[in-house]
Structures are given as structure tokens and as C-alpha cells.
Amino acid sequence: MKISENTEFKIDIKTVIGIIMFTTTIVGMYYTLQEDIAEAKTLPPVEVSRLEYELKEEWNEKMIMQLKDQVDMLEQTQSILKEEISITAGMIKDGTEADGKLEELNRQLEALQNKRPKVIVKEVKVDKKGRKL
């Protein structure tokens, strides 16, 4: 193939318009990006405020305490249920009555079921810079 002054190639008008539109879009995106970068350079740097950090730490601590309360409640329930099983097994072996002890254990289970860990949500007012008011 030889390229010279007499070389011809045909391009559709739709293709020419498509190329122009694509080039215009790329150039527009470039200048928009440059403006955004210039604006970002003038803005102050974003800092994680001490308040934000403290609030996250406080939330984590509350969640850990809530989980600890739930684990304690489950452990107490487990020990009561184990005791109920041993009493029931003893009753089956001996044929004796231990209704008073089972009723007491059932009351303890009900008390544990009614006891729920408390979740405290506290609203803190902050200014635009994230400082406590």
C-alpha cells in the first residue's frame, strides 16, 4: 500500500461526527477534572476529629459490654438448666418429688428471660468542625 497525495479513503459522515463527539467529550472531561483538582487543592484537608474517634470507641465499648451481659445471662441459664436436668434425672431414678426446687429454678429462668441488656443512645451536638458543643 502506497500513501501519497492521490491516496483516497472514505469515511462516513456519521463516523466523522462520532469522532468529533468522542474527542469533545474527552477534552471536556479533562478540563472538568483539572478544575476539580484545583478546587480540591484550595480546600482544607479532611481530618478525623477526636470526637468522631471517641464516639466510635464509646460505641465499641457499649457493644462489648452488651455482649458480655448476654454471655453472662446465657451462662446463668445454662447452669440453671443443668441443675433442672439433674433434679429431673434424680426424680426419675428415685421416684421422689422435688417440685419446690423445680419451681424455684423456673422462676430464676423467667427472671433471666425478662432481664435484657440496656442499650443507651446519646445524642451529641457538634459544630461544623466536629467539635463538641
Is the pTM higher than 0.85? The answer reads no
Q: Per the structure, how many domains does the chain have?
A: 1
Cell digits for 15? 463516523
Average pLDDT over residues 120-132: 59
Q: Is residue 102 part of a domain?
A: yes
User: Could you tell me the CA-to-CA distances from 112 to 71, 75, 76, 100, 108 in Å, in that order?
Assistant: 12, 11, 8, 19, 6
The whole-number pLDDT of residue 27 equals: 97
75: in domain:
yes
User: Is the confidence at residue 113, as pLDDT, over 80?
Assistant: no
Give residue 15's pLDDT.
92
Q: Are 131 and 51 in contact (CB under 8 A)?
A: yes
8 A C-beta contact, residue 49 and residue 130:
yes
pLDDT in tens, 70-94: 888 888 888 888 888 877 777 766 7
Q: Is residue 13 part of a domain?
A: no
Residue 108 maps to a domain: yes
Poorest-pLDDT segment among 62-71, 80-89, 107-116:
107-116
- 82 belongs to a structural domain: yes
Cell numbers given for 28: 471536556
> Could you list the residue range(s) of the whole structural domain that residue 91 is in?
50-114
Q: Which of the four pLDDT bands, split at 50, 70 and 90, describes residue 131?
A: low
Residue 21 has pLDDT above 90, yes or no: yes
Residue 73 counted as domain residue: yes
Residue 67 lies in a domain: yes
Whether the CA torsion 61, 67, 71, 77 is positive or negative: it is positive
